[in-house]
Amino acid sequence: MYVDRKDYKYLLAITICFLFVTIRLCEANYIDNEWVYAIGPIKLLQKNFLESDPFIGGALMFTRMYDITILPIYYYFDEFTATIISRLAIWCFQIWALSMLARTLGLKWWSFIALFLLWFNITYDTAAGEWVFGSASSKPVSYGFVFLALNALLKEKIIQSGCYSGLALCFHIIVGFWSAVAIFLAAIIKGLETFGVRKIMIAAIIFCILGSLIHGPVLYKYYVKNAHLMQSESQSIVRHLQIAEISVLIANPFHLDPYFFLTKVKYLLVLGFFIVAYILLNKTLEAKQFRFISVFWVASGAFFAAGLLARHCDYYKLLMLYPFRLGDGLMPVFFWISVSMYFQSHLEKYRGGRWLLILLVPLIISLSSLFKATYDASPRDKLVVSVKWNAMVRTEPMLTINLFKERVDEWRKRIILTVVNDSEEIQLWIRNNSPRNSLFITPPWDFSFALRAERAQFVFYKSVPVDEKIYDWLERMTLLNRGKFERYGYYMLGQLKNNYPRLTTAEISYIREKYSVDYILTYSNVYLDFELIKKNDSYRLYRLHSDIKKS
């Protein structure tokens, strides 16, 4: 079989990008939301897994497609090994999917490497804390299918694009929904004559069928579960508006509330990324490609703008649909695509131009690091000369070389030792020495406890319900904070870290009686009037009920 030499070169580019990401990101631990997405397939294998957890136990799963896909990996391997395998597989898929789109747009293999390094090093998001690339979770898979859907659209294969859009929806309902709206708008506005109404309708039907098969049962369960709220229409509307307001202003303002995450600098950054990318793509893309990309690009920006308007009008229900997700996540990708294409179009005219682009990459990253250090909202040090210099040299290949040694040491330690730190040691002890239906008060910022200890948590920051249980979530968080929070979002964690160790015996007893909590895990320097059953250098575990027996 004949293979174009360009394929080999792009394969080399994909391999380089994969090795780069592996060195930079493949920690010997769970990263980002990986532990959350590991719970899904485990629950499919063990029906009673974390059944007594007040939030995870009865959680509505919108990641069913992801759980089913990686289920075989979790069947044959332990949860941590399965997570690592899933992580590597997703990185391969995403880099390959992005390379398919890049090749269709006309990027050479060396420009693709430059694009990837710029995107990865400088920014994942522009403002709303959204990210496209990273962990073993459903969102990166969904974005991979978005890249493939766009690639198919540019190749004028609308039915194939509808299939990929449907798969993006299956893996992540928000990413899939907003991207599909933008893609179908592009197909209708700029491609109606090319595709015809019939093909667009077939693509839309395929998209809807795929989404309904995966998310239909979950949505049905959600409305049945909340049927008691429909006793009166006015009561239901007020209740849902309150839930949305708590979600936007308290639980997830870093993703949902532009008044929380949009500073003047970030606002200008978003606007600059959007305008510059539009201009450069117009200059470098073929006319038939730009007609589709322009509509998709403007639509993603319009969703972002709709979110700003919704916040201005305090319309929290729209904000609950994450209108910033697609634009904020993809804006950096397309910005660096446009920059790479622009440099490629000028530099490839000269002999050795590709190497000049590769040399420009660390310089651009260096200047970006200096910009971030200068305009950081809470700089750790004053910007003296040494700090400016450190910011400018924090680029490739220095970071990769330093991190390579760090990653090797991490993995050597992980392979040799059964447990790596005091947190894992006490969580393993809890798994082996407490009843499976026990309820634990734990530091609410320790996200991996439920997975490693396999025990229910009283409450923790990351597991935020999207229904009426959010009231209970907020009440429990407030109890562990010993009162109302002064600031919300991730600022809650700083307050919790300060107040959680100060919980008194009386406050814990109140929580124990109201919620039937069995144990509390706290720091080694915290002494409580309960039965101490386990301690190490960092933690102390107390039993709150004397009648609890080992399972």
- The rounded distance, in Å, linking the Cα atoms of 259 and 308 is 9
Residue keyed to tokens 């995870």: 56
- Residue-wise DSSP of 461-519: TT---SSTHHHHHHHHHHHHTTS--SS-TTHHHHHHHHHGGG--HHHHHHHHHHHT--E
Q: Give whole-number Cα distances, 421 to 82, 418, 461, 541, in Å.
A: 21, 10, 22, 16
What is the distance, to the nearest Å, from the Cα of residue 317 to the centroid of all Cα atoms in its chain? 21
Buried b (16+ CB within 10 A) or exposed e, 330-352: bbbbbbbbbbbbbbbeebeeeee
Q: Are 176 and 165 in contact (CB under 8 A)?
A: yes
| pLDDT given for residue 374 in this prediction | 63
Q: What does the pLDDT profile of the chain (551 residues) look like in tens digits?
A: 344 556 788 999 999 999 988 988 888 888 878 888 898 899 889 888 888 888 886 555 667 899 999 999 999 999 999 999 999 999 999 999 999 999 999 999 988 998 898 888 787 667 888 889 888 999 999 999 999 999 999 999 999 999 999 999 999 999 999 999 999 999 999 999 889 999 999 999 999 999 888 887 766 666 655 555 545 544 566 677 788 899 999 999 999 999 999 988 889 989 999 999 999 999 999 999 999 999 999 999 999 999 999 999 999 999 999 999 999 999 999 999 999 999 888 887 777 777 777 777 777 777 776 666 665 544 444 434 444 445 445 555 566 777 788 888 889 988 888 788 899 999 999 999 999 889 999 999 887 888 889 999 999 888 888 888 899 999 999 999 999 999 998 899 999 999 999 999 999 999 999 999 999 999 999 999 999 999 999 999 999 976 554 44
Q: Are 452 and 434 in contact (CB under 8 A)?
A: no
What is the distance, to the nearest Å, from the Cα of residue 162 to the centroid of all Cα atoms in its chain? 24
Provide the angle, in degrees to the nearest 10, between the axes of the packed helices 79-105 and 325-347.
50
Buried b (16+ CB within 10 A) or exposed e, 537-548: eebbbbbbeeee
| Cβ neighbours of residue 325 closer than 8 Å, sequence gap 6 or more | 128, 130, 174, 175, 178, 255
Q: Are 456 and 53 in contact (CB under 8 A)?
A: yes
In the three-class reduction of DSSP (H, G, I as helix; E, B as strand; rest coil), residue 271 is classed as: helix
Run of H or E including 23:
helix 5-25
Burial of 502 (0-12, 13-18, 19+ CB in 10 A): exposed
The values of phi and psi at residue 421, to 5°, are -145, 175
Q: Are 246 and 470 in contact (CB under 8 A)?
A: yes
- The rounded distance, in Å, linking the Cα atoms of 456 and 390 is 44
Q: What is the pTM of this model?
A: 0.90
